[in-house]
Amino acid sequence: MITHLNSAPTKPERVALLGARGFIGAALRKQLDVRKIPYLALTSSDVDLSASSAPDKLATLIKPSDSVVMLAALTPDKGRDVATMMKNFAMMQNTCAAAGKISCAHFVYFSSDAVYSAADALVTEETPPSPQDLYGAMHHTRELMARSLPKVPVLVLRPTLIYGLDDTHNSYGPNRFRRAAQKDGRITLFGGGEETRDHIHVDDVAALTLRCLLRRSTGTLNAATGVSHSFHEVAEVVAKQFKTAVEIVKTPRAHPATHRHYDISAAIKAFPDTRFTGIEQGVASVHREMLGKS
């Protein structure tokens, strides 16, 4: 559940994006451009958030009137070990030091659905976090670090699986399926792809973030569509986009299937007219983008 500090949408003076070069950062920049909202796009080449000098350097770049969006994190493809986690902590520690020193107008922390237990098949913002790996534990701890910022309104966004053309993580789902189908004409599933997940288009995540920035929302919000599909269904949707037949290959199941659904009532209450792209429409749009680029 979130609370809006702005009773009506109000453009932030400036948005400071930390991790602006990433997948979500790029989508958010696009929407900020459309709304003509000024932003400061910071990447690791501008400030190395893990460096001990980061707090001072960042404090010279961000202003008290800024809405800071913290997207920077080392994702599991960069490492799942303790060292990666500690580096992520250092990045957050330094960011919080600067944000606290400046006392910024709004702080949005991009967390992950990895804070929830895999056993929680139906999730709401009230579902107690119960991370089961270092990545989830890292995000949960970083959420707490953000929330400990004194006098700074904090919003934690927990996105479900995000897809879009520019995703670099290639995690299991629409992005990997599309690339595999294009490269090999084949999509390989874990088991029969029975697991259900909620897949959200990156532009919808950016749009939701923008709404939260405009309303200066605080609290916790899951970024999900409220509709889950099995990986097999998603594979079929992806395969349908190709003119040539794409083989969907099932493999022996190594682990029991788990499911994840979202009750998005909190998002609906916060933004009753909010709209999410359906998986068929979203996958088709990504496919068209891909063809346009090739």
Partner 1 sequence: MRVGFAGMTHLGVNSAAAALARGFEVVGYDADRNAIAGLRRGEPNIVEPGLPEVLQKHAARASFTADIADLSRCDLVYIASDVPTDDLGASDLAGIRQLIEGVSAKLGQGAVLVVLCQVPPGFTRALALPRERLFYQVETLVFGHAVERAMHPERIILGCADPAAVRPKALEQFLSAFACPILPMRYESAELAKIAINCCLVSSVSVANTLAELCESLGAAWPEIVPALKLDKRIGQHAYLAPGLGIAGGNLERDLATVCRLADERGTDAGVVRAWMANSRYRRDWALNELHGAVLSKLEDPVIAVLGLAYKQDTHSTKNSPSLALLAHLAPFRVRVFDPVVPASAAAHPRCHASTSELDACEGADALAIMTPWTQFGALDPVRIAKTMRGKLALDPYAVLKASACRAAGLEYRTLGGT
Interactions with partner 1, residue window 124-183 (CB under 8 A): 124, 126
Decide: is 275 part of the binding site for partner 1 (CB under 8 A). yes
Rounded to a whole number of angstroms, the minimum distance from the CB of residue 272 to partner 1 is 5
Dihedral Cα 154, 64, 48, 74, nearest 10 deg: 10
Rounded to a whole number of angstroms, the minimum distance from the CB of residue 264 to partner 1 is 8
Select the span of 39-47, 145-153, 194-202, 264-272 touching partner 1 (CB under 8 A): 264-272
Q: Are 166 and 23 spatial neighbours (Cβ–Cβ below 8 Å)?
A: yes
Decide: is 263 part of the binding site for partner 1 (CB under 8 A). yes
Decide: is 35 part of the binding site for partner 1 (CB under 8 A). no
Q: Which of 274, 288, 289, 291 binds partner 1 (CB under 8 A)?
A: 274
Rounded to a whole number of angstroms, the minimum distance from the CB of residue 203 to partner 1 is 15
Amino acid (one-letter) located at 139: H
| The residue to which tokens 């520019």 are assigned | 166
Q: Which of 205, 224, 276, 287 binds partner 1 (CB under 8 A)?
A: 276
Rounded to a whole number of angstroms, the minimum distance from the CB of residue 128 to partner 1 is 11
Decide: is 60 part of the binding site for partner 1 (CB under 8 A). no
Q: Which of 150, 273, 292, 294 binds partner 1 (CB under 8 A)?
A: 273
Interactions with partner 1, residue window 213-232 (CB under 8 A): 226
**60 versus 265: smaller Cβ distance to partner 1:** 265
Decide: is 1 part of the binding site for partner 1 (CB under 8 A). no
**124 versus 141: smaller Cβ distance to partner 1:** 124
Decide: is 281 part of the binding site for partner 1 (CB under 8 A). no
Q: How many CB atoms lie within 10 A of CB 132?
A: 13
Select the span of 82-90, 186-194, 234-242, 260-268 touching partner 1 (CB under 8 A): 260-268
Number of residues forming the site for partner 1 (CB under 8 A): 13
Rounded to a whole number of angstroms, the minimum distance from the CB of residue 194 to partner 1 is 16
DSSP the chain: -EEESSSS----SEEEEETTTSHHHHHHHHHHHHTT--EEEE-TTT--TTSTTHHHHHHHH--TTEEEEE-----GGG--SHHHHHHHHHHHHHHHHHHHHHT-SEEEEE--GGGS-TT-SEE-TTSPP---SHHHHHHHHHHHHHHT-TT--EEEEEE-EEE-TT--S--TTHHHHHHHHHHHSEEEPSTTS--EE-EEEHHHHHHHHHHHHHHTEEEEEEE--S--EEHHHHHHHHHHTSSS--EEE-----S-----EE--HHHHHHSTT-----HHHHHHHHHHHHHHH-
Rounded to a whole number of angstroms, the minimum distance from the CB of residue 267 to partner 1 is 9
End-to-end, the C-alpha distance of the chain in Å comes to 42
Decide: is 252 part of the binding site for partner 1 (CB under 8 A). no
Decide: is 45 part of the binding site for partner 1 (CB under 8 A). no
**130 versus 141: smaller Cβ distance to partner 1:** 130
Give residue 256's Cα distance to chain centre.
26
Q: Which residues bind partner 1 (CB under 8 A)?
A: 124, 126, 226, 263-265, 268-269, 272-276
